């Protein structure tokens, strides 16, 4: 048995979810992948829901880090349009995993786990606060980029690099130009 940091444990949980056989998240499966005992894992996560919320927050944290890089300006100073552009660029890089989709699906399936996702959506896209301007082109592009992510993460669709670049360019072309605002 080895001592693992929380990020290492959460990375292990994602490896379980990304396994070819689509492993289930259990204390046993995550403990085995992390090199811990079940009791050692339960020290960090007293319930399976606590572990799932930590996994969800781990995935969202990675996404937000990559989105901030794509955004190029502080989130607090960005516009909704800039955030949607960053999201399109982020989803356009590929790398969506079945494990990330499983984490998202579990939160949708079990509302007790949805709070981190809802906070992410509210922070980045204003979803749920009712203050969106006439954002039809932004919503269309955001939904299409989400569709690409879902299709790739579930294995329904595989898009090669040139195809992905063409899709991203087409989505970005729908958005209003920054100087047209």
- Nearest Cα neighbor of 164 from 176, 181, 149 is 149
**pLDDT confidence of residue 29:** 92
pLDDT score recorded for residue 21: 72
Angle subtended by helix axes 6-18 and 48-71, to nearest 10: 90
CA-based torsion, 128, 90, 70, 51: positive or negative: positive
Per-residue pLDDT tens over the stretch 47-103: 999 999 999 999 999 989 999 999 999 999 999 899 999 999 998 887 678 888 888
Return the domain boundaries, the chain.
78-180
The fraction of the chain above a pLDDT of 70, given in percent, is: 89
Do the beta carbons of residue 81 and residue 132 sit within 8 Å?
no
The residue with greater pLDDT, 46 or 105, is 46
Q: Give pLDDT, residue 75.
A: 92
Indicate the burial class of 181 (C-beta count within 10 angstroms; 0-12, 13-18, 19 or more).
exposed
Q: Which residue has the higher pLDDT, 177 or 40?
A: 40
Contact between residue 53 and residue 103 where contact means Cβ atoms under 8 Å apart: no
Name the burial class of residue 56, with classes exposed (0-12), middle (13-18) and buried (19+) by CB atoms within 10 angstroms of its CB: buried
pLDDT attached to residue 179: 58
Predicted local distance difference test score (pLDDT) of residue 1: 43
Nearest CA among 53, 57, 153 for reference residue 101: 153
**Whole-number mean pLDDT of the chain?**
86
Contact 19, 97 (CB under 8 A): no
The topology under which CATH files domain 78-180 is Tetracycline Repressor; domain 2 (1.10.357)
pLDDT, one tens digit per residue, over 152-166 is 888 888 888 899 899
Do 25 and 52 contact (CB within 8 A), yes or no?
yes
More confident residue, 55 or 19: 55
Asked whether the predicted pLDDT for residue 119 surpasses 80, the reply is: yes
Neighbouring C-alpha atoms within 13 Å toward the C-beta of 29: 16
Does residue 181 surpass a pLDDT of 70?
A: no
The number of beta carbons lying within 10 Å of the beta carbon of residue 171 is 22
φ, ψ of residue 43 to 5 degrees: the values are -60, -40
């Amino acid at each position: 048995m080895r001592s693992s940091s929380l990020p290492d444990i959460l990375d292990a949980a994602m490896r379980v979810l990304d396994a070819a056989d689509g492993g289930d998240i259990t204390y046993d499966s995550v403990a085995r992948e992390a090199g811990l005992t079940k009791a050692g894992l339960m020290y960090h996560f007293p319930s399976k829901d606590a572990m799932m919320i930590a996994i969800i927050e781990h995935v969202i944290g990675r996404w937000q880090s990559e989105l901030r890089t794509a955004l190029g300006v502080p989130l607090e100073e960005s516009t909704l349009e800039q955030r949607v552009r960053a999201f399109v660029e982020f989803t356009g890089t590929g790398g969506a995993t079945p494990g990330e989709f499983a984490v998202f699906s579990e939160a949708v399936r079990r509302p007790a786990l949805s709070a981190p996702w809802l906070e992410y959506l509210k922070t980045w896209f204003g979803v749920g606060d009712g203050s969106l301007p006439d954002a039809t082109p932004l919503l269309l592009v955001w939904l299409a980029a989400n569709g690409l992510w879902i299709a790739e993460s579930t294995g329904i669709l595989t898009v090669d690099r040139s195809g992905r670049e063409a899709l991203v360019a087409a989505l970005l072309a729908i958005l209003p130009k920054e100087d047209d605002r």
